[in-house]
Amino acid sequence: MEPIYKIVRIKQVVREAELSNVDVIRSPEDGADIVHQLIGDDDREVFLVICLSTKNGVIAVHRARVGAVNASIAHPREIFKSAILNNAESIIIAHNHPSSDPSPSPEDIQVTKRMLEAGKIVGIEVLDSLIVDSNSNKHVSLKEKCYIN
């Protein structure tokens, strides 16, 4: 009897979108603009990873996790998988708050710190963690709030 070989492959769903001419991230507003366009009106928390080149060019945007109305638990392996597969130099992590308040929760801060630690281990810098409001154009940058050095 011949052995059975199982072929395993990584499947990524690719969605092309026009992202208002943002192809290089120069500020938290640039990142927030992308996030608002992709998940700004979602009714559940969605966690995105923006993969960046050495000059902060957007390589890919990955929808890493879809959560509940008020939570989306993200694990480093889910976040850094897309960054590694896309040969990203750095990433920006982001999620939305369907509650209309982009203020970071203690869990948001804890997840950000965990991702910063994981990024140091794998050699991919986390430049920022953004939270966008699902009902307006507001956002919070955890880098600007000094949670990221």
Per-residue pLDDT of the chain (149 residues; tens, 9 = 90+): 666 655 444 444 444 445 555 689 999 999 999 999 998 888 888 999 999 999 999 999 999 888 765 555 788 998 999 999 999 999 999 999 988 789 999 999 999 999 999 999 999 999 999 999 877 889 999 999 999 98
The domain total for the chain is 1
* Dist CA 116 CA 90 (whole Å): 11
Task: Kindly give, in sequence order, each residue whose CB lies less than 8 Å from that of residue 51, ignoring residues fewer than 6 positions away.
Answer: 58, 59, 60, 61, 62, 82, 83, 86, 88, 91
Q: Is residue 113 part of a domain?
A: yes
Q: Is residue 1 part of a domain?
A: no
Q: Is residue 13 part of a domain?
A: no
pLDDT attached to residue 11: 41
Residues of the domain holding 66? 28-141
Q: Can you give the pTM of this predicted structure?
A: 0.83
What CATH number should be reported for the domain holding residue 73? 3.40.140.10
Q: Where are the alpha helices (DSSP H) in 40-105?
A: 76-85
Q: Is residue 119 part of a domain?
A: yes
Task: Kindly give, in sequence order, each residue whose CB lies less than 8 Å from that of residue 70, ignoring residues fewer than 6 positions away.
Answer: 45, 98, 99
* Dist CA 32 CA 79 (whole Å): 18
Q: Is residue 50 part of a domain?
A: yes
Q: Is residue 128 part of a domain?
A: yes
Q: Is residue 148 part of a domain?
A: no
SS3 content of the chain, % helix, strand, coil (to 5): 25, 25, 50
Q: Is residue 20 part of a domain?
A: no
